[in-house]
Amino acid sequence: MIEVQGMPAAPGIGIGKLCFAPHRKRSIPEYSINKGDVASELERLCKAIELVDEELLLLHKSLGDSDVEKVDFITAHRMILQDPILKDTMETWLHEKLNNVESLLLHFTTGMEQHFRGMDNPMFAERSKDIQDVAHRVIDALLGYKRDDSLSKIKEDCVIVAHDLYPSDTVTLNFRHVKGLVTETGGVTSHTAIMVRAFGIPAVLGVENLLRNFHRESFSDPCLVVIDGNKGKAFLDPDKRTLASYYSLKKQRSAHFDTYLNALRPKVSTKDGQDVYLYTNMGILDELESPLLPSSSGIGLFRSEFLFPEKIPTEEEQYQAYIKILTSVSSSQEVTIRTTDFGGDKVPGIGLFAEDNPLLGCRAIRLAMAYPEELFRPQIRAIYRAAAYGARHGLGKMRVMLPMISTHGELLRARDLIDETLKDLKTEVPEIPIGAMIELPSAVLCSDIIAKSVDFFSIGTNDLVQYTLGVDRVNEKVAHLYDPLQFGVLKLIRITIANANRAGIPVSMCGEMAGASCATAILLGLGLRHFSMASYGLPEIAHAICNYDIEECQEFAELYLSMRDSDTAREYLLEWHKERNITLDIPGWGERGSRNSRRF
């Protein structure tokens, strides 16, 4: 058995046959050419590009138009393919370097990769993968290799082990049979990570040297893999004991899941009859298919920046996407569109600019305000036009939410821009609630004032924890310090809820903490009544809420916060739940640290 440790990128237990993703690395010949060969090399390149374009077109057709997002993905790849920069650079290099075209293409992609990686920004790095993906397709075509599309043909339950998945691999995966994913690279903000999370597929990413240490020949066929997405562990060729214990844990969890499912309603009652509202977080249109969405109060957070990760979308594209979202919910459900949170750890490939310290830079609302014509105004128009369509057709209720508000002045400027944009809009649009994400300590401390200028708050604990504790949320070296249950964080949450209540506006939480059952009692005790999370987390939280009494939770939260230190408080947390026969699963917020592997 081999145990490997990586980053827990998507929770859950997955068991399936080991399936190595096709190895894309080829030995690419490098040889000199004569001046007279340049024209024929160029012709080879053009033919290969044509071939790849046909291949992508076929892929597009096989997906069908309803797969909007996947289709967009393929379209983006075709655009990369047809971008003149590729052909022009190759032509110049052929003349200058007098080398064969496949070796030049390889240099082109490595240079591109280094350029993007130099920006030290995970999302840029992701985009470099798209370019590599396309370029390697062209190299394959030049060398006469047929593209290995075995991943799209998987017919039995398996766990995929890969260096990394190309974006075009991810979009063609059959998620019904993929029970887990283990990769050497890929960050938590990668497209791969978002996709697997959206479909509830456990994933462990960033297992260093995975394929250097182990390869297909190291294992018998068939060979099983167990993946523990909560702990960031995977067991290749597990021994009987590990396998048995994970089968039993999985069975236990799925039995629990079924029980929990019975508790799930859009509005759940606590033991003492208080109402708590549950919402889902989403970022891609495929998630609208979630069977759990109808049992929630709607979408508490739609991360709009993930809708079009390849480019700045047009107003029309956004409008169509929002209509699709609205038509996927019922008239009683809410849809909260967060305006784009580009920047920080999730800059898309739009490449506006690079920064040395992006987490403290021009991200989210700051970027939107810096590029009002390109980013903010078209999105606001699309949201309000979709809201108008929704109102005409009796669809769900639209809300708009502004990310990373740091001061009241910033919020007022954004609101003014919304008003101006709507004034310029020719059609009549309805008034819809405008909310602020509270994810910076400064916003919390001014939440009494900010509350007067918005219709709702949503607490983004992923960033609030990061900016309160000074811990980069995607840096595994400090991941053990990333802890939402720290007093400093909880006290800021308490202030936010109290100020929202005083102002009479609803307050929800849409960070990962809202879906962590170990935090539910404290959050209820602090007054939270609206929870938004990844949809597969809803049943467990619904079940937990039904079993809590609010008065007890209030006492518990106060006592927790009066403890000497957070270790003692954690003991108390476990004890308090044990007394109520609740076994807590405290997520490995701090377990991303050590990345290694062990062989038994």
CA pair distance 319, 342, nearest whole angstrom: 19
Among 136, 303, 397, 543, binds ligand PEP (CB under 6 A): 303
Say whether 158 is catalytic. Answer: no
Residue 461 site contact among Mg ion, ligand PEP, none (CB < 5 to 8 Å, cut-off depends on kind): ligand PEP
**Strands of the 224-228 sheet, one edge to the other:** 7-10, 203-205, 178-183, 158-162, 13-20, 224-228, 233-236, 2-5, 597-599
β-sheet bridge partners, residue 509? 459, 531
Residue 350: CB minimum distance to ligand PEP, A: 16
Q: Could you tell me the two tokens for 578?
A: 């044990």
- CA 560 to chain CA centroid, Å, is 31
Residue 511 site contact among ligand PEP, Mg ion, none (CB < 5 to 8 Å, cut-off depends on kind): ligand PEP
Among 130, 133, 310, 341, binds ligand PEP (CB under 6 A): 341
Residue 303 site contact among Mg ion, ligand PEP, none (CB < 5 to 8 Å, cut-off depends on kind): ligand PEP
461 belongs to the binding site for ligand PEP (CB under 6 A)? yes
CA pair distance 303, 86, nearest whole angstrom: 32
Residue 439: CB minimum distance to ligand PEP, A: 5
Q: Out of 510, 518, 543, 553, pick the active-site residue.
A: 510
Closest CA to 358 of 376, 341, 381, 372: 341
Please enumerate in sequence order all residues whose Cβ is within 8 A of that of 453, keeping only pairs 6 or more positions apart, or say none: 408, 411, 412, 415
CA pair distance 173, 162, nearest whole angstrom: 13
Closer Cβ to Mg ion, 170 or 447, answer by number: 447
Stretch that binds Mg ion, among 21-29, 112-120, 409-417, 454-462 (CB under 5 A): 454-462
Closer Cβ to ligand PEP, 6 or 484, answer by number: 484
Q: Out of 191, 408, 530, 577, pick the active-site residue.
A: 191
Closer Cβ to ligand PEP, 151 or 450, answer by number: 450
Closer Cβ to ligand PEP, 6 or 515, answer by number: 515
Residue 126 site contact among Mg ion, ligand PEP, none (CB < 5 to 8 Å, cut-off depends on kind): none
Residue 473: CB minimum distance to ligand PEP, A: 8
Among 511, 527, 587, 588, binds ligand PEP (CB under 6 A): 511
β-sheet bridge partners, residue 278? 531
Closer Cβ to ligand PEP, 56 or 405, answer by number: 405
CA pair distance 501, 456, nearest whole angstrom: 10
Closer Cβ to ligand PEP, 170 or 458, answer by number: 458
Residue 53: CB minimum distance to ligand PEP, A: 34
Say whether 191 is catalytic. Answer: yes
Q: Which of residues 457-486 bind Mg ion (CB under 5 A)?
A: 460, 463
Residue 540 site contact among ligand PEP, Mg ion, none (CB < 5 to 8 Å, cut-off depends on kind): none
Residue 89: CB minimum distance to ligand PEP, A: 35
Angle at which helix 408-424 crosses helix 377-392, to 10 degrees, equals 60
Closest CA to 78 of 56, 58, 102, 50: 56
Please enumerate in sequence order all residues whose Cβ is within 8 A of that of 169, keeping only pairs 6 or more positions apart, or say none: 21, 151, 152, 162
Residue 273: CB minimum distance to ligand PEP, A: 29
**N-term to C-term CA, the chain:** 5
Number of other CB atoms surrounding residue 576 within 10 Å: 19
Residue 241: CB minimum distance to ligand PEP, A: 37
Q: Is the dihedral of CA 197, 186, 345, 461 positive or negative?
A: positive
Q: How many of the chain's residues bind ligand PEP (CB under 6 A)? A: 10
Stretch that binds ligand PEP, among 167-175, 183-191, 266-274, 455-463 (CB under 6 A): 455-463
Q: Could you tell me the two tokens for 395?
A: 């669809």
Q: What share of the chain is helix, strand, coil (3-state, %, to 5)?
A: 55, 15, 30
510 belongs to the binding site for ligand PEP (CB under 6 A)? yes
Residue 468: CB minimum distance to Mg ion, A: 13
Number of other CB atoms surrounding residue 562 within 10 Å: 10
CA pair distance 145, 147, nearest whole angstrom: 6
Residue 188: CB minimum distance to ligand PEP, A: 10
Q: Could you tell me the two tokens for 102?
A: 């496949």
439 belongs to the binding site for ligand PEP (CB under 6 A)? yes
**Residue in the structure block whose two tokens are 């929704």:** 390
Stretch that binds ligand PEP, among 33-41, 243-251, 327-335, 457-465 (CB under 6 A): 457-465
With beta carbons less than 8 A apart as the criterion, state whether 506 and 500 touch.
yes
Closer Cβ to Mg ion, 343 or 460, answer by number: 460
Residue 146: CB minimum distance to ligand PEP, A: 39
Angle at which helix 517-525 crosses helix 550-561, to 10 degrees, equals 100
**Residue in the structure block whose two tokens are 């476990």:** 574
Closer Cβ to ligand PEP, 397 or 473, answer by number: 473
Q: Which of residues 561-590 bind Mg ion (CB under 5 A)?
A: none
CA pair distance 454, 505, nearest whole angstrom: 8
Helix (H, G, I), strand (E, B) or coil at 534: strand
Site map (CB under 5 A) of Mg ion, residues 396-435, x = contact: ----------------------------------------
Among 186, 313, 460, 525, binds ligand PEP (CB under 6 A): 460
Closer Cβ to ligand PEP, 21 or 519, answer by number: 519
Residue 510 site contact among ligand PEP, Mg ion, none (CB < 5 to 8 Å, cut-off depends on kind): ligand PEP
Q: What is the DSSP letter of 335?
A: E
With beta carbons less than 8 A apart as the criterion, state whether 399 and 433 touch.
yes
Tell me the catalytic residues: 191, 510
Question: Which residues would be at the binding site for Mg ion (CB under 5 A)?
Answer: 439, 460, 463
| Residues that bind ligand PEP in the complex, under the rule CB under 6 A | 301, 303, 341, 439, 460-463, 510-511
